[in-house]
Amino acid sequence: MRHLLDTQHLSRADALEILDVAEDMADTQRREVKKLPTLRGKTVVNLFFEDSTRTRISFEAAAKRLSADVINFSAKGSSVSKGESLQDTAQTLQAMGADAVVIRHGASGAPRTLATSGWISAGVVNAGDGTHEHPTQALLDAFTIRKRLFGDASRGRDLDGIRVTIVGDVLHSRVARSNVWLLHTLGAHVTLVAPPTLVPQDVSGWPVEVDYDLDHAISTGPNALMMLRIQLERMNAAYFPTEREYSRRYGLDARRLEALPTDSIVLHPGPMNRGLEISAEAADSPRSTVLEQVTNGVSVRMAVLYLLLAGERPDTEK
Ligand code: CP
């Protein structure tokens, strides 16, 4: 693996390899000493042009647990405000010895530009680009679904026949796009639920079913319900009903939680708008995997960095 730019072009074999290496990494994270020596001498740069809590810290934790050095760059407070270009910023960080660049950017396609322009030789990982993709979020979501549904029998398993319903602001969601492609590749059946104004125009080319009625979608008994954050910061008011109307029609509340099959799970990538797309009862219920997703994110990102920088399956016995 040279770069991880999206899940649309990730093969089933590569996706399963990442998930299985993440299982090995998760085993190491249950030990008293969590650190592995495997990326000693490597440098990972977190290049963040948009805000982040989970993804940036998770990549930092993942790199440090593998003994890599980490440089954190935030566009806020940097020379980006003086007009420095992506090329010059990236080349400056490469000149300080970056082996991998983890990039979050508001422009869809920025990670691909970095990976293919020839500006830098480091491996590139997409940590979220515009409304395009967020591949490590989808991988950690798939890992979480697999783990909750199959437990210790997860290794090597795909999601064939598993029904996942993704609810909310699909239009602006890079998380939804990455999940649609990855879940489809792994054999899951994906249903999108959203108001018509928050469904992308090109959805007919996606491997999904679309339902505009959340209560109907819940009545079909999904194994996993993935609630999306409403991205008010990317939104034109014309797209969106009032918050109260949205919550009434598309929010996950205690009544809808009760209507789900007893063994189905609830995911949310965070950050959550409690009371808008998800109620406190749903967010904090035993079916919610929100914090497991965060924990699993470190193992998945360890796996990605390992496969990118070491290129082979780690020896986690050391
Ligand atoms: N899920 C996610 O990408 O969260 P952050 O924006 O906090 O990184």
d(CA 228, CA 89): 32
Arithmetic mean of pLDDT, 87-106: 95
**213-236 pLDDT, tens per residue?**
999 999 999 999 999 999 988 887
Lookup: tokens for 135: 């591949």
Evaluate whether residue 74 is within a structural domain: yes
**Model confidence at 240: pLDDT above 90:** no
270 ligand 1 Cβ < 6 A: yes
Lookup: tokens for 318: 């050391």
d(CA 83, CA 75): 11
pLDDT of residue 220: 98
Same domain membership, residue 192 and residue 47? no
Instruction: For residue 128, report the distance from its CA to the centre of ligand 1, in Å.
Output: 8
Arithmetic mean of pLDDT, 206-215: 98
d(CA 244, CA 21): 43
d(CA 37, CA 59): 16
Alpha helices in 7-53 (DSSP H): 12-28
Same domain membership, residue 47 and residue 32? yes
Q: What is the residue with the minimal CA distance to atom 4 of ligand 1?
A: 54
Arithmetic mean of pLDDT, 151-176: 97
Arithmetic mean of pLDDT, 228-251: 86
Evaluate whether residue 7 is within a structural domain: no
C-beta separation of 75 from 131 below 8 A? no
Same domain membership, residue 118 and residue 20? yes
Q: How confident is the model at residue 149 (pLDDT cuts 50, 70, 90)?
A: very high
pLDDT of residue 241: 75
38 ligand 1 Cβ < 6 A: no
Same domain membership, residue 254 and residue 162? yes
Evaluate whether residue 2 is within a structural domain: no
**Model confidence at 18: pLDDT above 70:** yes
Evaluate whether residue 5 is within a structural domain: no
Same domain membership, residue 267 and residue 178? yes
Atom of ligand 1 at shortest distance to CA of 127? Answer: 3
d(CA 61, CA 66): 9
pLDDT of residue 242: 86
Instruction: For residue 160, report the distance from its CA to the centre of ligand 1, in Å.
Output: 27
Domains contained in the chain, number: 2
Same domain membership, residue 298 and residue 280? no
Same domain membership, residue 246 and residue 208? yes
Residue type at position 272: M
| 158 CB neighbour count, 10 Å cutoff | 17
Evaluate whether residue 204 is within a structural domain: yes
**Model confidence at 315: pLDDT above 60:** no
Could you list the residues known to form a binding site, using ranges. Answer: 54-55, 82, 104, 134, 137, 174, 229, 270-271
**Model confidence at 211: pLDDT above 90:** yes
d(CA 49, CA 192): 29
Tell me the backbone φ, ψ of residue 224, rounded to 5 degrees.
-140, 135
Same domain membership, residue 298 and residue 287? no
294 ligand 1 Cβ < 6 A: no
CATH of the domain at 301: 3.40.50.1370
State the pTM of this model.
Answer: 0.96
Instruction: For residue 318, report the distance from its CA to the centre of ligand 1, in Å.
Output: 31
- Structural domain for 70, as ranges: 12-134+294-309
Q: Which of 49, 51, 55 to mutate to test the pocket of ligand 1 (most atoms within 8 A of CB)?
A: 55
Q: What is the residue with the minimal CA distance to atom 1 of ligand 1?
A: 269
Evaluate whether residue 45 is within a structural domain: yes
Arithmetic mean of pLDDT, 188-198: 96
Evaluate whether residue 110 is within a structural domain: yes
137 ligand 1 Cβ < 6 A: yes
Same domain membership, residue 256 and residue 148? yes
Same domain membership, residue 263 and residue 189? yes
Same domain membership, residue 283 and residue 299? no
pLDDT of residue 311: 67
pLDDT of residue 297: 98
Please tell me whether the interface predicted TM-score (ipTM) of this complex is above 0.85. yes
pLDDT of residue 262: 95
Same domain membership, residue 141 and residue 284? yes
Evaluate whether residue 317 is within a structural domain: no
Q: Which of 53, 136, 137, 273 to mutate to test the pocket of ligand 1 (most atoms within 8 A of CB)?
A: 53
Q: How confident is the model at residue 313 (pLDDT cuts 50, 70, 90)?
A: low
**Model confidence at 318: pLDDT above 50:** no
d(CA 28, CA 316): 7
C-alpha distances in Å from residue 135, one per residue of 69, 214, 218, 233, 241 = 23, 26, 26, 21, 29
pLDDT of residue 312: 55
